[in-house]
């Protein structure tokens, strides 16, 4: 029997460091030719963590969100589409509406998208006008029609071709407008440039595809609708697919990885979870481009208690690295703070995946509520009984047995405000950790990192002690 260690069992030994400012640390990581993240953090495909709002915030911050699969294919596809449409300096297919549509219907539409501008067109897609938030938020008469509320074509500034960012800037500056429709000679809509997207295209931190749209991943299971779901997600523009199952070293999971990779060879494929050298090796051989590590470390997991199976996460990452060779690894689960993230990266991971740390933010699905005088949000394990029932109601998984739950049904986490603030403080902590290890980037961290195993005395000393604090 060999020893398995987790985050609380180890510390990193400080090293001589040339780093004079934390800003000199480069946290970027390449997971695939098309997936270059600015921070090594990915949001977990859990239904209380990642839908479009979280994925948008993550891509804007330079990370990656993976939309969960505990829903119908249609629902998941819509979430992916919302991310792909959220921000694009040039919107290829802007949402067009008829002039006869009522304000009530327009308001319903705004709930489906993360934007509030619609182009009004006739039956031949000829531009008649434009409706934006300003035109309708203060209007009470919901029976009013688009044609009564829109800014008419005659008053719009339009262009006849896709223009450069520089040209767009000049138009925005000169006319003080927020939208520039692109039309052809017949006045048919060919696209839309928006001020908000123009501004966010200046955000150098965001991770984007070749068309300037935000990056997003989407999860798949291995049963039932796996390929059908993969097909729909690929069509919707998912940049990464993620086979996300509890035991990634199942023959069935390896077969699914092979099939998905064969069917969508150009889309990077994350697969997991595993916690051994052999698991990583077999997933790699099956075609996984990125391997997800973690059996039982997650905050809402009961796998180790229910089944007696698991590998403490630091050891699991080290073992997986032996089997994965140069294939990128994502350490999934168990990170409670930036220190754990630095340890996961130092152990051999290229990035970490987070669940509970993000579930209390505004961008996580679900409402804020009060419990014992505190603001909280719900968080549950994806192998919990509720998640299982949700899955069989919304997916085509043909399940012929009722499994035992391996996750918490009714968990709660403190409300934390915008995810941006959580990511910012994690990023600062990670930068500091790299600096203590004398590492300017991940490569140097892997080279310099030296772990020390600690005792319960060392752990006690690590946390604040002998003082009262809030
Ligand atoms: P954290 O610790 O960041 O972990 O909340 C998130 C990861 O936990 C995994 N996960 C589960 N594992 N039973 C499990 O054994 C569950 O019900 C469960 N739900 C989530 C998952 O890998 C996630 O990314």
Dump pLDDT digits (tens) for 116-159. 788 999 999 999 999 988 887 788 888 999 999 999 999 999 99
Q: 147, 180, 200: which is the final residue of a domain? A: 200
Same domain, yes or no: 396 and 433 = yes
162-184 residues labelled b (16+ CB within 10 A) or e (exposed): ebeeeebeebbeeeebbbbbbbe
**Residue 411 counted as domain residue:** yes
Q: Is residue 91 part of a domain?
A: no
CB of 121 sitting under 6 A from ligand 1: no
Per-residue pLDDT band at 197 (split at 50, 70, 90): confident
* 433, 366: one domain: yes
The region that residue 15 occupies, defined by phi over 0 for left and psi between -120 and 50 for alpha, beta otherwise, is beta
Is the shortest distance between the CB of 313 and ligand 1 below 6 Å? Answer: no
Q: Is 43 in the pocket of ligand 1 (CB under 6 A)?
A: no
Same domain, yes or no, for 116 and 172?
Answer: yes
Whichever domain contains 108, its CATH number is 3.10.580.10
Domain end position, chosen among 147, 171, 200: 200
- Do 346 and 374 lie in one domain? The reply is yes
Co-location of 220 and 301 in the same domain: yes
Residue 232 has pLDDT above 90, yes or no: yes
As a dihedral over the C-alpha atoms of residue 242, residue 244, residue 250, residue 254, rounded to 10 degrees, the angle is: -10
81 and 223, same domain (yes or no):
yes
**Residues of the chain above pLDDT 90, percent:** 77
pLDDT of 228 strictly over 90: yes
Query: Are both 18 and 75 inside the same structural domain?
Result: yes
Q: Does 67 fall in a domain?
A: yes
391-406 burial, b if ≥16 CB within 10 A, otherwise e?
Answer: beebbeeeeeeeeebb
Q: Quick check: is 71 catalytic?
A: no
Q: 381 CA to middle of ligand 1, Å?
A: 6
> From the CB of 413, is ligand 1 less than 6 Å away?
no
Regarding the beta carbon of 407 and ligand 1, being less than 6 Å apart is answered yes
Rounded to the nearest whole angstrom, what is the distance from the C-alpha of residue 401 to the centroid of ligand 1?
22
Is the pLDDT score of 398 beyond 70? no
Last residue of a domain, one of 162, 181, 200: 200
| 318 belongs to a structural domain | yes
Determine if ligand 1 sits within 6 Å of the CB of residue 300: yes
Which residue CA neighbors atom 18 of ligand 1 most closely? 381
* 308 and 426 share one domain: yes
Task: Look up the domain containing 342 and give its range.
Answer: 7-86+206-462
* Residue 29, in any domain of the structure: yes
Exposed/middle/buried for 78, CB within 10 Å: 0-12, 13-18, 19+? Answer: middle
Q: Is the CB of 131 under 6 A from ligand 1?
A: no
Tokens of 420: 């941006």
* Predicted TM-score of the model (pTM): 0.85
From 333, 337, 351, the mutation candidate for ligand 1 (largest count of ligand atoms within 8 A of CB) is 333
Looking at the CA of residue 356, tell me the nearest atom of ligand 1: 5
Cα of 439 from ligand 1 centre, angstroms: 29
User: Separation of 387 CA from ligand 1 center, angstroms?
Assistant: 12
Residues 111, 220, single domain; the answer is: no
Mean pLDDT of 433-441: 97
**Which residues on neighbouring strands pair with residue 130, listed in sequence order?**
119, 151
Closest to 366 measured CA to CA, from 45, 72, 85, 51: 51
Number of domains in the chain: 2
Residue 300 and residue 382 in one domain = yes
Q: Does residue 310 lie within any of the structural domains?
A: yes
In degrees, rounded to 5, the angle at the alpha carbon of residue 456 between the alpha carbons of residues 455 and 461 is 100
Note the pLDDT tens digit of each residue in 75-99.
999 999 999 988 766 787 888 999 9
Query: Parallel, antiparallel, or unpaired for β 217-220 and 189-194?
Result: unpaired
Please indicate, yes or no, whether residues 348 and 396 belong to a single structural domain of this protein: yes
CA distances from 420 to 39, 103, 195, 364, 454 (A): 12, 33, 22, 12, 33
Marked catalytic residue, from 71, 242, 301, 335: 301
238 in the same domain as 190: no
Query: Is residue 383 over pLDDT 90?
Result: no
Among protein residues, the one with the nearest Cα to ligand 1's atom 11 is 301
- Is position 161 within any domain? yes
- pLDDT of amino acid 133: 81
Residue nearest to atom 19 of ligand 1 (CA): 381
In-domain check, residue 468: no
Where residue 235 sits, what CATH number does that domain have? 3.20.20.70
- Give tens-digit pLDDT for 291-350: 999 999 999 999 999 999 999 999 999 999 999 999 999 999 999 999 999 999 999 999
Regarding the beta carbon of 335 and ligand 1, being less than 6 Å apart is answered yes
């Amino acid at each position: 029997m060999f020893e398995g260690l987790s985050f609380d069992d180890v510390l990193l030994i400080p090293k001589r460091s040339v780093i004079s400012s934390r800003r000199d640390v480069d946290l970027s990581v390449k997971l695939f030719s098309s997936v270059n993240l600015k921070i090594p953090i990915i949001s977990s495909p859990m239904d209380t963590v990642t839908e479009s709002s979280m994925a948008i915030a993550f891509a804007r911050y330079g990370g990656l969100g993976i939309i969960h699969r505990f829903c119908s294919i249609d629902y998941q596809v819509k979430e992916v589409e919302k991310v792909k449409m959220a921000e694009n300096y040039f919107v290829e297919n802007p949402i067009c509406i008829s002039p006869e549509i009522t304000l009530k219907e327009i308001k319903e539409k705004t709930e489906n998208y993360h934007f509030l501008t619609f182009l009004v067109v006739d039956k031949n897609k000829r531009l008649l006008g434009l409706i934006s938030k300003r035109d309708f938020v203060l209007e009470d008469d919901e029976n009013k029609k688009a044609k009564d509320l829109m800014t008419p074509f005659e008053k719009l500034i339009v262009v006849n071709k896709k223009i450069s960012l520089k040209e767009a800037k000049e138009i925005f500056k000169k006319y003080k407008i927020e939208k520039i429709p692109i039309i052809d000679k017949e006045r048919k809509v060919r696209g839309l440039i928006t001020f908000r997207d123009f501004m966010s295209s200046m955000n150098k931190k965001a991770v984007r595809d070749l068309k300037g749209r935000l990056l997003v991943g989407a999860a798949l299971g291995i049963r039932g609708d796996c390929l059908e779901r993969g097909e729909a997600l690929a069509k919707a523009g998912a940049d990464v697919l993620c086979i996300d199952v509890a035991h990634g070293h199942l023959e069935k999971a390896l077969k699914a990885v092979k099939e998905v990779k064969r069917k969508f060879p150009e889309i990077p494929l994350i697969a997991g979870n595993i916690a051994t050298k052999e698991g990583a090796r077999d997933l790699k051989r099956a075609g996984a481009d990125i391997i997800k590590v973690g059996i039982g470390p997650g905050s809402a997991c009961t796998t180790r208690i229910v089944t007696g199976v698991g590998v403490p996460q630091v050891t699991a990452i080290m073992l997986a690295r032996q089997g994965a060779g140069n294939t990128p690894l994502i350490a999934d689960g168990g990170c409670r703070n930036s220190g754990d993230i630095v340890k996961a990266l130092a152990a051999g991971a290229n990035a970490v995946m987070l669940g509970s740390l993000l579930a209390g933010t505004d961008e996580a699905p679900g409402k804020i509520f009060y419990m014992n005088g505190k603001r909280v949000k719900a968080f549950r394990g994806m192998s919990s009984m509720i998640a299982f029932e949700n899955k069989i109601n919304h997916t085509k998984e043909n399940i012929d047995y009722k499994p035992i739950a391996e996750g918490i049904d009714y968990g709660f986490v403190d409300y934390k405000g915008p995810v941006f603030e959580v990511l910012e403080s994690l990023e600062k902590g990670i930068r500091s950790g790299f600096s203590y290890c004398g590492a300017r980037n991940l490569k140097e961290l892997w080279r310099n990192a030296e772990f020390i195993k600690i005792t319960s005395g060392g752990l006690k000393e690590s946390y604040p002690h002998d003082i009262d604090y809030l």
